[in-house]
Amino acid sequence: MDLTEAPWRRSRHSGDDGGKCVKMAPLTRVQWRKASRSSEAGDNCIELTALPHAIGVRDSKAPEHGALLLDLAGFKALLEQLKRD
């Protein structure tokens, strides 16, 4: 997914001096799917999306709160940690 034309905005949590700047862009054009291990009752549900160089993870109950993007190595490490816990 090419995000060069996405409407990026600066997060309100970014530093005032230009350091620690976080910029965000909406992921509205991607297909999200509910994780197979999500709860049937509707709680503890996450959604995933596959991007060319990352995996997106978000809370299905609050998609407007954004998503965590992990590169493939980071996603693999997350899954391994979750399996251990």
The pTM of the whole model exceeds 0.85: no
- Nearest residue to 46 (alpha-carbon basis) of 33, 59, 55, 56: 59
Q: What is the pLDDT along the chain (85 residues), one digit of tens a residue?
A: 565 666 666 666 666 665 666 666 667 678 888 877 776 666 678 899 888 788 889 888 888 888 888 889 999 999 899 888 7
Q: What is the pLDDT of residue 1?
A: 52
- Tokens at residue 44, please? 């503890």
DSSP 3-state of 53: coil
Domain-wise residue ranges, the chain: 29-84
Q: What is the pLDDT of residue 74?
A: 92
- Nearest residue to 67 (alpha-carbon basis) of 6, 12, 25, 14: 25
DSSP 3-state of 31: coil
Q: What is the Cα–Cα distance from 45 to 58, expressed in whole angstroms? A: 9
Q: What is the pLDDT of residue 23?
A: 63
Helices (H), the chain: 72-84
